[in-house]
Structure 1
């Protein structure tokens, strides 16, 4: 199964933090919806899932949504699993060949630490942030991995998308 990590990053490389004063860029949100619909699923952490307020409808209707959580046992509109490997096994059993991994930072880093990511799609927002979360290949050891640029394109309003594949994935 191919796992594609999707994230919106700030221009200085941090995860773009959203708030009422700084809502996510519409272009990035629309891209996420399009990516999820194209793949037919997405994997997300509990806090990020709860921030979506999907209620089983809207743009995510008909998608297989998997929430990785140690604390939640059931969430309406999603399959809850305890680990990244369980998330991928569930989607593979449902017939998916690709999985879209969307958030948050701790979940992304858990997948990266287990070397379960094949591709990255980064939507770069035209903002700078002084503090934020980063992607970590391994929190305890230095790792260096080469990535191959597969595609890049402007999404509008200053948002640019970069699509990479890990060379040794």
Structure 2
């Protein structure tokens, strides 16, 4: 999940891709954005993946119920308009590139639980320590690595509270 305004991300490692696992990830992501940053998600945009379509959800209406409980509207990406889903696809490529070698090493030594721990550490690094374009907007000079978490949190708190998330 990626917030369009703040560029904050949330990700989880799962051994299955069932509707139940996806729904749990979405709930965890919503709570992460709210608890960690005070961001209330008002809209979720997804592609036309079977996990989000009515046919797949007929057995498990959890996704629609989650949206209803949290007061979130759902919209699909527009067909044949790759730019509507381009930011999340670009994000997936970036994460894959940055974690490719680490995941192989961790999986070999520690298995799935090691990868889950790596994912949590990567989220912390991406959301707080990794250089983003916001760094250059805050100040004309590049900040030291240690200065970034405080500046990032300050920047995130200055953004609108309601936000759109892309899955």
Q: Scaled by the length of structure 1, what TM-score is found? A: 0.31
User: Highest Rg: 1 or 2?
Assistant: 2
Higher helix share goes to which structure? 2
* TM-score, length of structure 2 as denominator length: 0.32
Task: Considering Cα pairs closer than 8 Å and 6+ residues apart, tell me whether 1 or 2 has the greater RCO.
Answer: 2
